[in-house]
């Protein structure tokens, strides 16, 4: 039934992508669940959502390391669906390569998955929306590290910063067609990609240097994505919603603690 509201989510077999699928699944909706190597996981997610929500769920293999092949696969699924209303560019890979030992093959992979493939998918989906008159929504998942640098993050930070700028440019170009383009920038999120295999445990994980004291749960990031996909954000475009527990606020805190404990007292303090 081509009239079903259709959303494509990349990296939907686990983590934020899976949580986003759960947040968006409901009767009258079709979810295209993109995956690369996690076929078994995405099939379990698809069955869970079909039986639990009444949504139509279609797994779509899309390995973003090959952007053109990923776009071709996703567009074929969109053509079979008959329409596309929303795209969630969630899939990504982490990297902590030392800046004095960068591997160009690894750089190609990081930028392909984190920047080029999402940009190409957004371009293709936007083109399809324009051609079919759909006033849709595109959401790119970036990172707090699109603006906050981290040691070992030359490739990762640059790839996410680039996707953040792509978001703003596409918002300008697609806005006249009623297509909104936004991003969600998570801080540390308790997912398997970050070494957390019990994703429900995020409230028990201590992160004392984050003001809220813990990492995010995948469903907390998914709720922001769902907001940007939905009609409640109808006047929001070109925005980046930061969800980092206050991490970006702490840049000067460690230095301030050191400075205030090492500054010698004045010889003649004011009376």
Sign of the Cα torsion 24, 29, 31, 32 reads negative
202 in catalytic set: no
**Identified catalytic residue from 35, 156, 177, 227:** 156
Strands (E), 103-143: 137-141
CA-wise closest residue to 220 among 153, 141, 163: 141
SS3 242: strand
234 burial (CB, 10 Å; 0-12 / 13-18 / 19+) is exposed
Sheet-wide strand order for 29-35 = 56-61, 29-35, 5-9, 86-89, 137-141, 180-186, 240-243
The answer to whether the CB of 136 falls within 8 A of the CB of 88 is no
The answer to whether the CB of 56 falls within 8 A of the CB of 83 is no
Position of tokens 């099939």?
43
**What is the Cα Rg of the chain in Å?**
20
Kindly report the CA angle at 86 between 185 and 53, in degrees rounded to 5? 100
Q: Which are the catalytic amino acids?
A: 156
């Amino acid at each position: 039934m081509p009239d079903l509201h259709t959303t494509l989510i990349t990296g939907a077999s686990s983590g934020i992508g899976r949580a986003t699928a759960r947040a968006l699944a409901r009767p009258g909706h079709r979810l295209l669940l993109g995956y690369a190597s996690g076929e078994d996981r995405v099939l379990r997610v698809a069955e869970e959502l079909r039986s639990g929500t009444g949504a139509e769920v279609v797994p779509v293999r899309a390995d973003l390391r090959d952007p053109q092949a990923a776009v071709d696969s996703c567009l074929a699924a969109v053509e079979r669906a008959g329409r596309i209303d929303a795209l969630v560019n969630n899939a990504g890979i982490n990297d902590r390569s030392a800046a004095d030992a960068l591997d160009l093959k690894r750089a190609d992979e990081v930028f392909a998955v984190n920047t080029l493939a999402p940009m190409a998918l957004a371009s293709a989906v936007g083109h399809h929306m324009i051609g079919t008159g759909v006033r849709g929504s595109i959401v790119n998942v970036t990172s707090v590290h699109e603006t906050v640098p981290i040691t070992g993050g030359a490739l990762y930070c640059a790839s996410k910063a680039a996707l953040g700028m792509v978001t703003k440019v596409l918002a300008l170009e697609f806005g006249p067609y009623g297509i909104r383009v936004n991003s969600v920038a998570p801080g540390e999120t308790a997912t398997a990609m970050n070494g957390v295999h019990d994703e429900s445990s995020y409230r028990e994980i201590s992160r004392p240097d984050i003001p809220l004291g813990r990492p995010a749960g995948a469903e907390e990031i998914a709720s922001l994505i769902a907001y940007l996909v939905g009609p409640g954000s109808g006047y929001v475009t070109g925005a980046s919603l930061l969800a980092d527990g206050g991490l970006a606020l702490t840049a000067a805190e460690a230095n301030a603690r050191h400075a205030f404990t090492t500054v010698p007292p004045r010889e003649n303090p004011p009376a």
